[in-house]
């Protein structure tokens, strides 16, 4: 279905997809569940683990246009390429270059990494049923609650301390420390790679015995001393994933704790595992994951170990840059996306300026009004999925009502006005604005 040209400057309401993985939060306790229920007007099953709400065009979890039948956002974009803008079409073709998600996490996700474009293309050709697209998947999480993750490798100094304090690891890899802090970075990285590959490649019976020995020791020592956060995490992971290699591997990674409003980005080929909490997440349009621990799913240990950068040190935490009094912008070093967080006070209003690329708006809580400048003269239609302002559109308290659970697609070059008579929290995902400055 091709929509009329005079309609594609408006906001389009979306019906989104949900993923119910076993690590999700069950029932009404899950923000994914309550958002999905509001978005699709459906009931929540208290026994279902609601893990991810997907907003975008990926075939594994497509969004659909509300109000015009079974039309996916992907097919609508394909038939209306104007909504992407010329710059986006030239660079990424006739598809949305980013995916937007809400995540609700109750237990650790897999130790994983996302391949770069070259490797993604190879894996998709090699195993298309496992790696379902040929794109890379840089990503960013923005914490909605306290949020924990493993991300990237610890420093060499920290690694030395781990190998001294966790003898069970050295028993598995059967290797002494051949380098020290005075050796160059290259030698240190080579040692990290060597010992990590040996650990991840160990036989399951060896791993099982080491994890059992580790947890027995920690539970005994817990009676006489305070365990470190990494040791506590190891016990938690063993409870969630008994005798898994990820329990030992967790000591090699940075344990990151985000406060609400802080963001963490993950580059291609960087190891990570999300542990607990709720967030919005944005990434390049891909679902490629190479796993090697803390999961019952398919593992590719050799591929994971071969693809990692083995970069050491704490990851960068983004605090957000204020765009105006209500809005913060989070810019990862990736062209495909950025995320803005907007919290409007009672009676507040804000304008999202027109940009040369598309965007997706998620209204997470509260209610308010949204309309576009270009739609101010368009007639309202109760049967249309498009948001059109009321006859009093000169006021910022006009337009169509939006509330928690609403998801809206904004075409390129569309100025979006938002206002509220109560507190309203929303998030905007769009192409990184810095990319447009290069053109």
CA 77 to chain centroid, in Å, comes to: 23
CA 146 to CA 256: how far, in whole Å? 11
Enclosing H/E stretch for 168 = helix 167-173
CA 168 to CA 217: how far, in whole Å? 10
> Residue 266's closest CA among 251, 246, 284?
284
Strand partners, 350: 418
DSSP state, residue 282: E
> Residue 12's closest CA among 426, 304, 402?
402
> What does the CA dihedral 135, 140, 144, 147 come to, rounded to 10 degrees?
110
Give the Å distances, CA to CA, from 28 to 104, 269, 329: 11, 35, 29
Give the Å distances, CA to CA, from 424 to 28, 232, 369: 21, 37, 10
CA 420 to chain centroid, in Å, comes to: 28
Convert 73-83 to b/e letters by CB count within 10 Å (16 or more is b): bbebbeebbeb
Q: Tell me which residues are annotated as active site.
A: 291
Give the Å distances, CA to CA, from 242 to 208, 212, 218: 8, 9, 15
- Is residue 370 within 8 A of residue 399, CB to CB? The reply is yes
DSSP state, residue 72: B
CA distance from start to end of the chain: 32
CA 187 to CA 217: how far, in whole Å? 32
Convert 96-121 to b/e letters by CB count within 10 Å (16 or more is b): bbbbbbbbbbbbbbbbbbbbbeebbb
- Is residue 21 within 8 A of residue 49, CB to CB? The reply is yes
Residues found in the chain: 439
């Amino acid at each position: 279905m091709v929509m009329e040209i005079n309609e594609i400057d408006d906001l389009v309401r979306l019906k989104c997809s949900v993923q119910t993985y076993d690590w999700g939060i069950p029932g009404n306790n899950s923000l994914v569940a309550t958002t999905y229920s509001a978005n699709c007007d459906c009931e929540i099953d208290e026994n279902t683990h609601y893990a991810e709400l997907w907003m975008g065009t990926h075939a594994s979890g497509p969004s659909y246009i509300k109000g015009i039948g079974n039309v996916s956002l992907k097919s609508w974009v394909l038939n209306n390429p104007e909504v992407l803008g010329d710059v986006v079409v030239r660079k990424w073709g006739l598809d949305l270059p980013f995916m937007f998600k809400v995540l609700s996490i109750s237990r650790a996700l897999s130790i994983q990494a996302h391949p770069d474009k070259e490797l993604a293309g190879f894996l998709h050709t090699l195993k298309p049923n496992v790696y379902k697209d040929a794109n890379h998947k840089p990503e960013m999480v923005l914490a909605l609650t306290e949020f924990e993750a493993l991300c990237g490798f610890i420093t060499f100094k920290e690694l030395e301390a781990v190998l001294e304090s966790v003898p069970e690891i050295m028993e598995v890899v059967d290797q002494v420390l051949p380098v020290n802090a005075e050796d160059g970075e290259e030698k240190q990285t080579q040692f990290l790679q060597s010992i990590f590959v040996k650990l991840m490649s160990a036989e399951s019976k060896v791993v099982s015995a080491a994890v059992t020995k580790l947890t027995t020791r920690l539970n005994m020592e817990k009676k006489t001393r305070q365990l470190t956060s990494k040791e506590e995490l190891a016990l938690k992971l063993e409870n969630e994933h008994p005798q898994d290699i990820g329990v030992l591997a967790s000591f090699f990674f940075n344990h990151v704790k985000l406060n609400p409003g802080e963001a963490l980005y993950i580059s291609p080929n960087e190891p990570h595992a999300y542990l607990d909490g709720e967030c919005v997440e944005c990434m390049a349009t891909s679902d490629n994951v190479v796993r090697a621990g803390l999961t019952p799913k398919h593992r590719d240990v050799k591929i994971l170990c071969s693809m990692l950068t083995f970069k050491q040190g704490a990851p960068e935490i983004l605090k957000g840059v204020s765009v105006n009094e209500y809005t913060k912008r989070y810019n990862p070093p990736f062209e495909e996306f950025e995320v803005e967080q907007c919290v409007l006070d009672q009676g507040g209003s804000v304008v999202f300026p027109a940009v040369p690329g598309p965007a997706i708006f998620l209204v997470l809580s509260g209610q308010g009004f949204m309309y576009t400048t270009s739609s101010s003269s368009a007639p309202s239609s109760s049967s249309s999925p498009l948001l059109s302002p009321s006859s009093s559109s000169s006021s910022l308290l006009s337009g169509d009502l939006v509330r928690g659970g609403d998801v809206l697609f904004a075409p390129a070059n569309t100025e979006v006005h938002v206002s509220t008579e109560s507190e309203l929290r929303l998030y905007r995902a769009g192409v990184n604005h810095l990319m447009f400055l290069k053109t």
